[in-house]
Structure 1
Amino acid sequence: MKKIVTLGEIMLRFSTNAGERLQQTNTLSMHYGGAEANVAVSLAHFGYQTYFVSKVPNNPLGRAVERHLKSHGVHTDYLVKGGERLGSYYVESGVGERSAQVIYDRKYSSFSNLKSEELNFEEIFNGAHLFHVSGITLALSAELRKLTLQALKFAKEKGITTSFDFNYRAKLWSQQEAAEAIKPLLPYVDICSCGELDAIHLLGIEETDPSLSKEERLCYYYGKIQEMYPNIQYMCSTFRKVISASENTLQGNLYLDGELYQSKVHHISQIVDRIGGGDAFMAGVLYGILEKLPSNQLISFAAAASALKHTVHGDCNLFSTDEVLSFAENAPGKIVR
């Protein structure tokens, strides 16, 4: 069984019921989640030996996080205990044309104060096949930016496949701050999730002709990124069209060896919970790469995993490999040359 390591913050999420605003509600739903933790949960459901590296307070909330992870088969051997608080965030659910709103309450969290000396990289990466992290971790502190770079370098020295999701969040930091933190990491990345806006605003790539199709533009930006960072083998993203808060279309993109592979367009007409959809897609891409799936099948699997995530509450995707494959059988991929 392949060992997967992810590094990031897990938080307590509070969500309103549909049709209620935060200032009026008397009840909130609770879920645990975070980008890298969600990827770990998905990959555990896909049958991998996943380990989540983080720091949580040594109190009932920290113990609840540990229970949550273990309940999904994620190993918590590298979950550091300490600090004073678990980060949290609030979601005001969207309805119709009104979008969902997120409010973060994560400053001074246990994870944001994690130091590299609290982690034993030799032990953490021993026998690992893949390491995944996202830009959200970089946004939380200067120390975490140093730690993430150190972890990626260490993983590459050990011959471990590395994965990075830009996951830019404007509420956490500026584009300039993100660009300065992300660029030094990319020479150590094998698999990268990013899109057109990331290429323009975070990597400083000159905009191409806006009259081109979105597929042609994406190929242009991915080609430019590979010129800058030839070590990046795979790039992925999704095209999402928001019709309403409860109705979206979703299509997966995979760029490999100069070609763009796409899934079918999923029409998700009754969204239960959109949060975590991108993490489910990322986990699907990683599964396809780890299993050496043909590119068309890989991107169809990833998009199907994301579409399925939209049908369940909470941050985590709870579907097995067989369930995603069964769903994806009716979702053949196509290649755009």
Structure 2
Amino acid sequence: MSALLNNYTHPGKILSFGELLLRICPDAEGEWLSTNQLPFYVGGAELNVATALALWDVPSAYFTVLPNNGLSAQIVNALTNKGIDTSSIFYGDGRIGLYFLTAGQDLKHDALIYDRANSAFANLKPGVIDWDKVLQGVSWFHFSAICPAINNDIAAVCLEVLEAASKRNITISVDLNYRSKLWKYGKSPLEIMPELIKYCDLVMGNVWAAEMMLSIPVFPDIHESGQKSIYLKEALKTSEQIMAQYPKCKAVANTFRFDASNDITYYTALYTNNEFHSSSVYEAKYITDKVGSGDCFMAGLIYGFYNNLEPAEIVEFATAAAFEQLFVKSDATDKTIAEIKKAMQ
């Protein structure tokens, strides 16, 4: 079992924690208005991780909060059929959160519209969940920075569950997803995230997210070079500073995706055991969808550490998985282990 996992003898479930969302995808030209068809996908950053892990035969569980109605029952049944343990899902007042994303676009600017106020997950309060019960049989807990961005109560719930997981010696990972259209409740990421990161064993994101959320500075003229070597040097520096500031952290991963017109360039890096590993570079002229590649990379990291792969192999597998996700028309990957290994450069 990987040194990143504290529970060496009896590795348990990977529990992903976050809000389930329905992604609604209008086309950019507005044809959905005449065809009366509006494609949708069941997603959410943490559910995407849970889905990938279940597909890859890692024991995967998912915690979210849903309204107790027939629509939720259908969704939960679909997740269970994918091999995800849904037994810890909590049912509360509210609705299922939505977001609208123009087809083919990423989670930036006007292409993204959130509609998740007063969702069942957003209405969750501290002191409601019995975390000792939820965390039974769990050896790894995963969440993202999207959760504490929702509101002050959810930020408090995040702290509550991280404290409970830490007491149980559970490995904790975080994806430093930054969503500028969240964080609207009077707190900045810098006021919330450092307190949560101190519980984390694995931190994944990019150098700009670390600057935004953890106040770890990025060289201001880094984009002027456009050189992979400069970006990787910055990733190493950021990784070392995260580990210095947060002693519990044992690994830091960084992703780099550059979109130039239709051209996509993608590579990543992993720093662990005082060693820095960078991946192969992946390039494509055209892709299918930009949603979920980072979640797939996160799942790839967890898969690799859970299966005690070597760090260089972990970063190559996770990168190939993330790149392949760019050609999947869904929030979560449908690529098998064999397909990902075949795609590895």
TM-score (norm 1): 0.90
Matched residue SS, 1:198: helix
Matched, 1:316 2:332: yes
Looking at structure 2, the residues matched to 36 and 73 of structure 1 have their Cα atoms a distance apart, in angstroms, of 15
Residue 244 of structure 2 is matched in structure 1 by 227
Name stretches of at least 5 consecutive residues in structure 2 with no aligned partner: 1-10
Secondary structure at the counterpart of residue 197 of structure 1? helix
Q: Which runs of 4+ in 1 moved over 3 A?
A: 17-26, 206-212
State the match for 2:53 in structure 1.
43
**Which structure 2 residues correspond to residues 287-326 of structure 1 after superposition, within 5 A?**
287-326=303-342
**Given that residues 219 and 259 in structure 1 are in contact (C-alpha distance below 8 angstroms), is that contact kept between their aligned partners in structure 2?**
no
Counterpart residue number, 1:130: 140
Check the 8 A contact 1:2/1:49 in 2, yes or no. yes
Change (3 A) 1:62 1:44: same
8 Å CA contact retained: 1:250, 1:266: yes
Matched position secondary structure for 1:113: coil
Deviation at 1:314, TM superposition (A): 1.3
Aligned partners of 1:223 and 1:134: how far apart in 2?
21
Once the two structures are superposed, what CA deviation does each residue of 1:74-106 show, in whole Å capped at 9, x if it has no partner?
A: 1110111221311001111247xx988111000
1:82 aligns with 2:92: yes
Q: Which amino acid aligns with 1:186?
A: I
> Once structures 1 and 2 are overlaid, which stretch shifts more, 146-155 or 23-32?
23-32
Q: Relative to structure 1, is the Cα distance of residues 206 and 63 closer, same or farther in structure 2, using a 3 angstrom cutoff? A: same
Query: Mapping of 1:263-282 within 5 angstroms?
Result: 263-282=279-298
1:214 maps to which of 223, 231, 238: 231
How big is the shift at 1:143?
1.5
- The residue identity in structure 2 corresponding to 1:217 is E
Contact (CA 8 Å) 2:22, 2:41: kept in 1 or not?
yes
The 2-side partners of 1:205 and 1:84 are apart by 37
1:144 maps to 154
Query: 2:267 aligns to what?
Result: 251
Verify: 1:107 aligned to 2:117, yes or no: yes
The corresponding residue for 1:200 is: 211
Report whether the alignment pairs 1:186 with 2:197: yes
Distance in 1 of aligned mates of 2:25 and 2:142: 27
Give the aligned partner of residue 334 of structure 1.
none
Q: Provide the rounded CA distance (Å) in 1 between the counterparts of 2:35 and 2:13.
A: 42
- Following TM superposition, by how much is the alpha carbon of 1:199 offset from its aligned partner in structure 2, in angstroms? 2.6
- C-alpha distance 257-111 of structure 1, shift in aligned 2 (>3 A): same
Within 1, Cα distance between the matches of 2:216 and 2:246?
13
Question: How far apart, in 2, do the equivalents of 1:100 and 1:287 lie?
Answer: 34
* Residues paired across the two proteins, number: 326
Cα distance in 1 between the residues matched to 2:89 and 2:137 = 18
Asked whether the equivalents of residues 94 and 100 of structure 1 are also in contact (C-alpha less than 8 Å), the reply is no
Change (3 A) 1:240 1:153: same
Counterpart amino acid of 2:204?
A: S
Residue 260 (structure 1) aligns with: 276
Cα offsets for 1:236-280 (capped at 9, x unmatched): 121111023x54111121111333211111113331111011100
Gaps of 5+ in 1: 332-337
Q: Answer yes or no: is the 8 Å Cα contact 1:268–1:307 preserved in 2.
A: no
Give, as a single letter, the amino acid of the residue that structure 1 aligns with 2:124.
Answer: L
- Match of 2:252, as an amino acid? M
* Whole-angstrom distance in 1 between the partners of 2:13 and 2:138: 5
Post-superposition shift, 1:295? 1.3
User: Residue type of the partner of 2:257?
Assistant: R
C-alpha root-mean-square deviation of aligned residues, in Å?
Answer: 2.3
> Residue 304 of structure 2 contacts residue 314 of structure 2 at CA under 8 Å; is this kept in 1?
yes
Further displaced range: 228-237 or 98-107: 98-107
Deviation at 1:149, TM superposition (A): 1.0
Which moves more between the two structures, 246-255 or 84-93? 246-255
1:20–1:93 contact (8 Å) kept in structure 2 = no
Matches of 2:299 and 2:94, distance apart in 1: 31
Code of the aligned partner of 2:336: S
Give the deviation of 1:17 after TM superposition.
3.4
